[in-house]
């Protein structure tokens, strides 16, 4: 029996290159990211700084040999204070390891982190044609709350963005301000 992958907190030093490779493959070959050009390694400094400064988790799933199979994180949904209990998340799986349940493990870890950090709502913004991601979210209890038609343009076509929401029972004592 082979060893199972392990959930780990991702760090710049250990995971930036692997995360970047997963991002760039998705940018070049899919509509999972509405971006056109591969990102340089230098972009990962700001990405990790943003996560650290916002106290947002970056969760990875590593194979026993240390290869990053999948990762996910969440961050600010919108910049106004009243949204402080809502986060937007994303999960990416290495293209050679899709369909093995790794995204589900990362999503469950992010949900647990959001609950621990007293968040109330998690939002997933998913390309409407990404049926696998939509099915994953629905199987975890996310609800489709709307679709923004033709808000992106990539690969010579208009893209619709489907919004999914998971509502947590936290925070226990929300406050204004």
In the chain, where are the structural domains located? 6-122
Question: What pLDDT, on the 0 to 100 scale, is given for residue 3?
Answer: 82
Across 3-7, 23-27, 112-116, least confident range: 3-7
Concatenated DSSP letters of the chain: -PPPPEEEE--HHHHHHHHHHHHHHHHHH-SSS---SPPPTTHHHHHHHHHHHTT--EEEEE-TTS-EEEEEEEEESSSSGGGTTEEEEEEEE-GGGTTSSHHHHHHHHHHHHHHHTT--EEEEEEETT-HHHHHHHHHTT-EEEEEEEEEEEETTEEEEEEEEEEE-S--SS----
Q: What is the pLDDT of residues 35-63, one digit of tens each?
A: 999 999 999 999 999 999 999 999 999 99
| 126, 146 Cβ separation under 8 angstroms | no
State the pTM of this model. 0.93
- Separation in Å, CA 78 to CA 42, 85, 99, 110, 123: 25, 10, 31, 18, 11
| 127, 161 Cβ separation under 8 angstroms | yes
Residue 177's pLDDT band (boundaries 50, 70, 90)? confident
- 92 forms beta bridges with 71
How far apart CA 39 and CA 138 sit, in angstroms, is: 30
Answer yes or no: is pLDDT of 137 > 60.
Answer: yes
| 122, 169 Cβ separation under 8 angstroms | no
Answer yes or no: is pLDDT of 2 > 80.
Answer: no
Give the CB-side neighbour count of residue 165, counting CA atoms within 13 A.
11
Q: What is the pLDDT of residues 19-31, one digit of tens each?
A: 999 999 999 999 9
Q: What is the pLDDT of residues 66-96, one digit of tens each?
A: 999 999 999 999 999 999 999 999 999 999 9
Answer yes or no: is pLDDT of 1 > 50.
Answer: no
Phi, psi at 87, each rounded to 5°: -130, 155
The arrangement of secondary structure in 6-122, i.e. its CATH architecture, is 3-Layer(aba) Sandwich (3.40)
- The whole-chain average pLDDT of the chain stands at 96
């Amino acid at each position: 029996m082979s060893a199972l992958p392990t959930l780990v907190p991702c760090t710049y030093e250990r995971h930036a290159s692997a995360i970047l490779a997963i991002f760039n493959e998705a940018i070049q070959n899919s509509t999972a990211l509405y971006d056109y050009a591969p990102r340089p390694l230098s972009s990962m400094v700001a990405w990790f700084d943003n996560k650290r400064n916002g106290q947002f988790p970056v969760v990875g799933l590593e194979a026993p040999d240390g290869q990053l199979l999948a990762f996910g994180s969440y961050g600010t949904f919108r910049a106004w204070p009243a949204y402080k209990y809502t986060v937007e998340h994303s999960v990416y799986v290495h293209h050679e390891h899709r369909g093995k349940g790794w995204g589900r493990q990362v999503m469950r870890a992010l949900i647990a982190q959001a609950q621990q950090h007293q968040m109330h709502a998690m939002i997933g913004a998913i390309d409407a044609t990404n049926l696998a991601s939509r099915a994953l979210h629905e199987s975890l209890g996310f609800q489709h709350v709307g679709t923004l038609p033709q808000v992106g343009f990539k690969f010579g076509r208009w893209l619709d963005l489907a919004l999914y929401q998971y509502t947590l029972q936290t925070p226990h004592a929300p406050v204004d301000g």
